[in-house]
A and B are shown apart, each in its own frame.
Chain A
């Protein structure tokens, strides 16, 4: 069996196709941002998660430090329990604030961490004690209307 130009062309075609897939995965998709470094799990309870979704980012001072892995309803407290995996490189004090924030006015929601001053750090499986729920636009508008009616009385 000899090598032919046909082999070369088919080879080029297959290599180009696979290269396109790799480009799509790394440059267009998020495969390169998948957490390859080790991570640990932290939890937080929120009274309302708003539009937060799994894979939403967890940021501290604007820097991406982890991702939300799951959101479930905790039927003991009837609150949302959010589990997030945080990069091992970043440690946070015990009294860190976890807030659900929105990027831009109508952008996607993420969790913002505001570190406190405690000496002890959160370890795997620990929970954020201080949380602030998502701002729900409808609630805000509702409050605005009721307060303006009250003030007229």
Chain B
């Protein structure tokens, strides 16, 4: 009997997971469908741009600066062995623009803004604000979900660009000002190896995809959270875990498409 109930448990979980995935897909389509209304009332998106974009600025800038500084220190130690310290600029810039900028900014964004979105919407649901909106014939997806979604999608590439730019600056401070790598070769090697279309635009594209994934996951988890204190805290945890995993997996897929054989 234990085997039967075990099998039954597995089946129930699988069915539940597929069910939830379908619900998430419908939620995502509804969000896109009702986006028009929130673009007509841009004030709503702007408010969310402030709370997810502007409020994430400090953590993004400080983190970017330190990542660039560490890259320069570590890169210098390794490059020194091969006598090619002058390639430090291209090492710092390429790793930031292609990978670390979009990925780390998205991870920070998921834990800083994504978790806040989930908690906010989950709590709105727990305190029955969402049901109240429906009673007043206000569509909660158009009023609450869609503005947050677009704010996340807009602010993610901007944050990633700021992260990369700060990282390059941090690398410059440590590499050129502190260690004393030649300034001319630092910038010229960087410019020779970073291609605008191939590296920078692909990095921006990556961060747009990450922004879509993180906000979609955060909003769905919040909307689907059980309306209890426990449910909201569980949903917030799931947001951070799921969006971090999604970012890293998507990064692998995107990198395989963008940079293969190049």
Contact = CB atoms under 8 A, between A and B. Distances in A.
A21 B196 contact: no
B195 A20 contact: no
A153 B70 CA distance: 57
Contact of A24 (B49, B54, B97, B155): B97
Query: At the interface, is chain A mostly helix, strand, loop or mixed?
Result: helix
B199 A9 contact: no
A73 interface: no
Nearest to B43: A1
A33 B159 contact: no
Contacts of A20: 158, 161-162, 164-166
Interface in B146-178: 155, 157-159, 161-162, 164-166, 168
Q: How large is the interface on B (under 10, 10 to 19, 20 to 34, 35 or more residues)?
A: 20 to 34
Interface stretch (A10-18, A78-86, A121-129, A132-140): A10-18
A19 to B, nearest CB: 8
A14 B200 CA distance: 18
Given A17-B159, A20-B165, A28 B47 contact: no
B158 A18 contact: yes
Contacts of B47: 6
A24 B200 contact: yes
> Which one of A17, A31, A32, A34 has the greatest number of beta carbons of chain B within 10 Å?
A17
B196 A7 contact: no
> Which one of A25, A30, A57 has the greatest number of beta carbons of chain B within 10 Å?
A30
B200 A25 contact: yes
Contact of A29 (B155, B162, B194): B194
B103 to A, nearest CB: 16
Query: At the interface, is chain B mostly helix, strand, loop or mixed?
Result: helix
A6 B50 contact: yes
Contacts of A55: 195
Q: How large is the interface on A (under 10, 10 to 19, 20 to 34, 35 or more residues)?
A: 20 to 34
A30 B57 contact: no
A13 B53 CA distance: 7
A27 to B, nearest CB: 7
> Which one of B47, B155, B159, B194 has the greatest number of beta carbons of chain A within 10 Å?
B194
B61 to A, nearest CB: 9
Contact of B161 (A9, A10, A21, A31): A21
A72 interface: no
Interface stretch (B10-18, B184-192, B243-251): B184-192
Nearest to B45: A10
A20 to B, nearest CB: 4
> Which one of A7, A21, A33 has the greatest number of beta carbons of chain B within 10 Å?
A21
- Top-4 shortest CB links A-B: A17-B158, A20-B165, A20-B161, A29-B196
Interface of A: 6-7, 9-10, 12-14, 16-18, 20-21, 23-25, 27-34, 55, 57
Interface of B: 46-47, 49-50, 53-54, 57, 93, 97, 155, 157-159, 161-162, 164-166, 168, 187, 190-192, 194-196, 199-200, 204
